[in-house]
Amino acid sequence: MKSRNMDILIRLEELGFLILTVFLFSQLPYPWWLFPLLLVIPDISILGYMINDLIGAYVYNFMHHKGIAVLFYLAGVLTASTLLALVGLILFAHSSLDRLLGMGLRHRKGFKETHLGPLGGKR
């Protein structure tokens, strides 16, 4: 079980990541209102749970994996594709926001089991 101080530290780190993505987004040629609009899109991955818990966990975790987000962003930077960079930033920002709010990657046991502990449970 994590200590309260560790929980605060992790949330502050995620807040920093979220602020970084806002700054990086401001360097792209897109209107500011697009950022909050797209920020909710990765949660479409929740639909994988309509098939079963295993597929749901894999699809959800792929869309919420920060490594995948960084790969998209770097691919965008290296190929001068602002669209790929945008996808990477949105995925990263969304994952940081989720973790800031105490939600994590999912286990195959079910949607409410995360790598940060059970949703709604004490952390």
pTM: predicted TM-score of the whole model, two decimal places: 0.86
Higher pLDDT, 6 or 91: 91
Cβ atoms of residues 16 and 100 within 8 Å: no
Would you state the pLDDT for residue 106? 72
CB atoms within 10 A of CB 3: 9
- What angle is formed at CA 53 by the lines to CA 2 and CA 90, rounded to 5 degrees? 65
**pLDDT of 21-62, one tens digit each?**
999 999 999 999 999 999 999 999 989 989 998 998 899 899
